[in-house]
Each structure stands twice: as structure tokens, then as C-alpha cells.
Amino acid sequence: MNLTAVLLAGGESRRMGQDKATLIFRGAPLWERQLGILRELQPEKILVSARQNPVWRPPEIELLLDEPPSRGPLSGLTRALERMETTHLMALAIDMPFMTSEQLRFISSLATIGCGVLPMIGDRAEPLAGVYPREAGGDFLAALAGDNLSLQPLSRSLVHAGKLRSFAVSQGDEQLYRNVNEPEDFKEGRF
């Protein structure tokens, strides 16, 4: 098995009021922090999925633009699965700053040939920090052509089809999956 990683940075940051990727979190911009975490996994390739070319994207990182109209993370994951040349894709959202390379390494260690890993917190899937097998590409294309763009039902159908294995996140690790959406999320004491 080998791994491609994708940083999902295609959101509009409406609630935040500015590009989340450039917000400083614990001394570094979110984009720099997240790319650093992905680099620690030593994937074959790292991709950035976005609506337009971000000014912060390092030139050695390949850009995947959402095809208009953008359908959120579903667009980015579909494009990444189409582009990858490895057996698995590790996804990480730009706005999950609490995630660690250790957690992502653990998640990826649970993947097997033809089967990825879907973290679950209670009954809610966390598809923006998951591992997807190449075999899920057709399912993503079909979902993109449909009218339900939520990753929740798609994730569950991939588990049912045996293309994803659900993984119950321990209560102590749930905080790692928290995302930041509003300015208040950056105030002292919120994290």
C-alpha cells in the first residue's frame, strides 16, 4: 500500500470572514501547519484541493481545482481520487488544526488493500480526516453527479460496501477532529 495526501482547502470561509488557511494557529498559518502534518506521513505526493490557486500554496505542491460548480469537499475528494496514482488517499481539512501526524498515521495503519478508514465520533462520520482506497473513486463520481452532496451518506455506503472500515475515535482523541469555523474558535481558552 502507498499513500497520496490531499489538503482540502476549498471552503469559502464565510463564517470566519477571511481565508482560514492564513489564520495563525499556535504560531503558524493553518496551511503551513496542515502541510507539515501531511509531510510527516511521507506520502508519495501531496495535493491541495481548492476553488482557486491559493497564494500560500508552495510551488512543489500540486494544485487540484474544483470543477465549477464546486460541490464542497465532495469535489475535492473526487478530483484527488481521480488524480492519485497510489492505493490510498489520506484526506485532511485545512480547518482541523488539532489533528496530529500520529493520529493520521494510526488511521492509515488501519487501512488494507481495497479498504480505507472512516473515523467516527459517536454516530457521526469524520470524512475530512479519513483514508480512501482507489476503489472508492467510482462511488465519489456517482455521488458528485447526484443531488445529495453530503459526505455522510456516501461514507456510510462505502462502509456498507466494504470499501471503508469505520473506526471509533476514543473519547480522549475526539478533540483532534474539531474544526474551526468562526473567529470565536480562535479566542483564548477555546482550544
Question: Which H or E run includes 116?
Answer: strand 116-121
Q: Above 90 in pLDDT, residue 36?
A: yes
% of the chain at pLDDT higher than 70: 88
Q: How far is CA 52 from CA 35, 63, 146, in A?
A: 18, 9, 23
| pLDDT of the residue at 37 | 96
The DSSP bridge pattern shows strands 116-121 and 164-168 to be: parallel
| pLDDT of the residue at 190 | 47
| pLDDT of the residue at 191 | 45
Whether residue 89 is contained in a domain is answered as yes
Cell for 112? 488494507
Whether residue 129 is contained in a domain is answered as yes
Rounded to 10 degrees, what is the CA torsion of 125, 129, 134, 140? 50
| pLDDT of the residue at 136 | 98
Q: What is the pLDDT of residues 137-155, one digit of tens each?
A: 999 999 999 988 899 999 9
| pLDDT of the residue at 45 | 97
Rounded average pLDDT over 76-96: 96
Whether residue 30 is contained in a domain is answered as yes
| pLDDT of the residue at 109 | 97
| pLDDT of the residue at 189 | 41
Whether residue 191 is contained in a domain is answered as no
Domain range for residue 20? 3-186
Mean pLDDT of the chain: 89
Rounded average pLDDT over 73-99: 95
pLDDT band at 186 (very low <50, low <70, confident <90, very high): low
Our count of domains for the chain comes to 1
Q: For the domain that residue 76 is a member of, what is the CATH number?
A: 3.90.550.10
H helix runs in 1-72, sequence order: 30-40
Q: Above 60 in pLDDT, residue 90?
A: yes
Q: What is the pLDDT of residues 14-33, one digit of tens each?
A: 544 557 788 888 888 999 99
